[in-house]
Structure 1
Amino acid sequence: MAFSNKITQLFDIQYPLVQAGMVWVSGWRLASAVSNAGALGLIGSGSMYPEILREHIRKCKAATDKPFGVNVPLFYKYTPQHIQTIIEEEVKIVFTSAGNPKTYTAMLQQHGITVAHVVSSSKFALKAEEAGCNAVVAEGFEAGGHNGREETATFVLIPAVCKTVKIPVIAAGGIATGRQMLAAMVLGAQGVQIGSRFAASAESSAHTAFKEAIVKAGEGDTMLMMKKTVPVRLLRNAFANAVQQAEAQGASVEELQQLLGKGRAMKGMFEGDLDNGELEIGQVSALIDAVLPAEHIVREIWNEFEESLQKPLG
């Protein structure tokens, strides 16, 4: 059926579904495949050098004539260069995260760019609205990767944020199916952002071993850690256990940073070191049981959403 709401209109997409811009996972292949399927694909710039981001944007433009965007974590070293690249390459949609939305929102909008910001609380959602963002992504603590310190679950966060702001709300965290998408929208969200399900897609740039680990994951196989530095949800492995042990023994921020070292996320998600790498993934990995093409995933989620709309409760 035809579907139109504030999110589909804002981004000029067919379905109110956004593929999250994940580090080491969301390159041009995934973003273009999702956009071609009628949802909104995002390139994850957090793991890219400026010249690599430019290459991905150009390849994405060549692979799709549909809208796509770039996710920009604001605390990364190359953020200023990424913003400039996005403006120069005339990308029309940017999702910012992990920082103050006031920093770049007005500048981006002056160049005709639509801006959404990822938050983990009603307080930060209000700040995003005050900064002029066009939409906000309310991400519950079930989500993979970098997370908010509030540890508010999606089912509590979504109605709280919807009550606080007037701009459209996109729900994220613990969503991978059409039924979950419907639940989030019943709670007031205008759309959903999905990460983990697309991390285990055919077009994801994640290593095959990491994709297989996602499929094998069960309930309780992820945990939120590194709360003294930057909270992040990881799949349990030898590295995660070492971090957990260090935190339990009262390790300082400096000691934890030394343990983390450099390149842990690349080692785990991109190179496939399942023991020593950082494996960022959400709790919803417990519901993912196959690696599928992105188009199939979008279609499966939307079909289940529509079917669930027609079913009586109970």
Structure 2
Amino acid sequence: MFENNRICRLFGIQYPIVQAGMVWTSGWRLASAVSNAGGLGLIGSGSMYPEVLQEHIRKCKAATDKPFGVNVPLMYPDIERIMEIIIKEGVKIIFTSAGNPATYTGILKEKGLTVVHVVGSSKFARKAEAAGCDAVVAEGFEAGGHNGREETTTMVLIPAVRAAVKIPVIAAGGIATGRQLLASMVLGAEGGQVGTRFVASEESSNHPAFKAAVTAAEEGDTLLSLKKLVPVRLLKNEFFRQVAAAEQRGATPEELKSLLGRARAKKGMFEGDLEAGELEIGQVSALVKDILPAGKIVRILMEEFLDAVRNPF
């Protein structure tokens, strides 16, 4: 069914499903499980020291003979060392985000890598295409973690980006079911990047308490926060309420940065502190009600997708 799908051909994968490279979530176990199931697994380098990333890449190569990639937030420290390791270890696919794609795309392309950049607007999609990226991830307002300032929803963003660029578009934000994947492709995407659904997987690196909180979430339990710094969608908890109160009284970016402190996401998502931690997750958590093996999640997504194709109504 996907023989002519440009995303499947670009990455050499069976299904047009990309597992998001999320901080404190996407290690080698999750990436290799998704790749082995026919999707594209991504290691999330944003929460890894360079030597830790190197270890995850090597373990992923040992766990799968299928394509996988690394997600790199360009604003993070040690970026030069991160890029050196990715190239040295022979990774063939890199997703970049949170920065200017022109900085590294040319260098990576010269080394033979496939480069994809995450964008939140048509403007930045055009910039990514001009920089030489092979595809873009168009991430809508519904997504968890760091988010676009424009607050454009996935349903509006995908057709806008599709009209703006000629390279393949991968939809992200609010995709946790096969029917949602099909909807994004009807709008012009050629694949879907799935994050929140894989947080609630057996192989994700998240603390069990955070996984349980994700499956317990209901509609309205997440909100975009910290807009004066870098907007991020969070599950509501005590830390979120402190941020909301600070923002309501007009706190400066410096005050918000002090409140955020260091390792706040690690505290919540990796260590399981559900009150003091930063809990990054998407709106679609309201539809995620169980924790499953990543391979089963891929299989269910495709079963739901095919059922929706056959029975759209």
How does the TM-score come out when normalised to structure 1?
Answer: 0.99
TM alignment of 1:128-277, pairs within 5 A = 128-277=128-277
**Which region of structure 1 is more displaced relative to structure 2, 222-231 or 78-87?**
78-87
The question of whether the paired residues in 2 share the 8 Å contact of 1:3 and 1:15 is answered with no
Query: Aligned residues: percent identity?
Result: 69
Structure 1 residue 2 displacement after superposition: 5.6
* Partner Cα separation in structure 2 for residue 312 and residue 155 of structure 1: 17
Cα deviation 1:126-182 (Å, max 9, x = unaligned): 000000000000000100000010000000000000000000000000000000000
Aligned length: 313
What is the aligned partner in structure 1 of residue 89 from structure 2? 89
Runs of 4+ in 1 over 4 A off after TM superposition: none
* Partner Cα separation in structure 2 for residue 126 and residue 300 of structure 1: 34
* Partner Cα separation in structure 2 for residue 62 and residue 137 of structure 1: 27
What is the aligned partner in structure 1 of residue 40 from structure 2? 40
The question of whether the paired residues in 2 share the 8 Å contact of 1:174 and 1:282 is answered with yes
What is the aligned partner in structure 2 of residue 114 from structure 1? 114
* Partner Cα separation in structure 1 for residue 50 and residue 142 of structure 2: 30
Q: Secondary structure at the match of 2:71?
A: strand
What is the aligned partner in structure 2 of residue 20 from structure 1? 20
* Partner Cα separation in structure 1 for residue 35 and residue 259 of structure 2: 38
* Partner Cα separation in structure 2 for residue 312 and residue 18 of structure 1: 23
Inter-CA distance 11–242: structure 2 relative to 1 (3 Å threshold): same
The question of whether the paired residues in 1 share the 8 Å contact of 2:134 and 2:168 is answered with yes
Cα deviation 1:84-140 (Å, max 9, x = unaligned): 100000100000000000010011111110000000000000000000000000000
The question of whether the paired residues in 1 share the 8 Å contact of 2:3 and 2:9 is answered with no
Structure 1 residue 312 displacement after superposition: 4.5
Q: Secondary structure at the match of 1:299?
A: helix
Q: Secondary structure at the match of 1:13?
A: coil
Q: Secondary structure at the match of 1:81?
A: helix
* Partner Cα separation in structure 2 for residue 133 and residue 26 of structure 1: 23
Partner letter of residue 129 of structure 1? E
Cα deviation 1:48-68 (Å, max 9, x = unaligned): 000000000000000000000
* Partner Cα separation in structure 1 for residue 3 and residue 110 of structure 2: 29
The question of whether the paired residues in 1 share the 8 Å contact of 2:2 and 2:8 is answered with no
Inter-CA distance 180–3: structure 2 relative to 1 (3 Å threshold): farther
Structure 1 residue 233 displacement after superposition: 0.2
Structure 2 residues not aligned, in runs of 5+? none
Partner letter of residue 263 of structure 2? G
* Partner Cα separation in structure 2 for residue 74 and residue 2 of structure 1: 31
* Partner Cα separation in structure 2 for residue 260 and residue 116 of structure 1: 29
Structure 1 residue 78 displacement after superposition: 1.7
Cα deviation 1:173-196 (Å, max 9, x = unaligned): 000000000000000100000000
Structure 1 residue 79 displacement after superposition: 1.5
The question of whether the paired residues in 1 share the 8 Å contact of 2:69 and 2:94 is answered with yes
TM alignment of 1:52-67, pairs within 5 A = 52-67=52-67
Partner letter of residue 175 of structure 2? I
Structure 1 residue 80 displacement after superposition: 1.4
Structure 1 residue 3 displacement after superposition: 4.5
Inter-CA distance 299–248: structure 2 relative to 1 (3 Å threshold): same
Cα deviation 1:195-222 (Å, max 9, x = unaligned): 0000110000000000000000000000
The question of whether the paired residues in 2 share the 8 Å contact of 1:126 and 1:164 is answered with yes
Partner letter of residue 18 of structure 1? V
Inter-CA distance 234–312: structure 2 relative to 1 (3 Å threshold): closer
Partner letter of residue 240 of structure 2? A
The question of whether the paired residues in 1 share the 8 Å contact of 2:21 and 2:44 is answered with yes
The question of whether the paired residues in 1 share the 8 Å contact of 2:139 and 2:171 is answered with yes
Cα deviation 1:233-261 (Å, max 9, x = unaligned): 00000000100100000000110010000
Partner letter of residue 162 of structure 1? R
What is the aligned partner in structure 2 of residue 50 from structure 1? 50
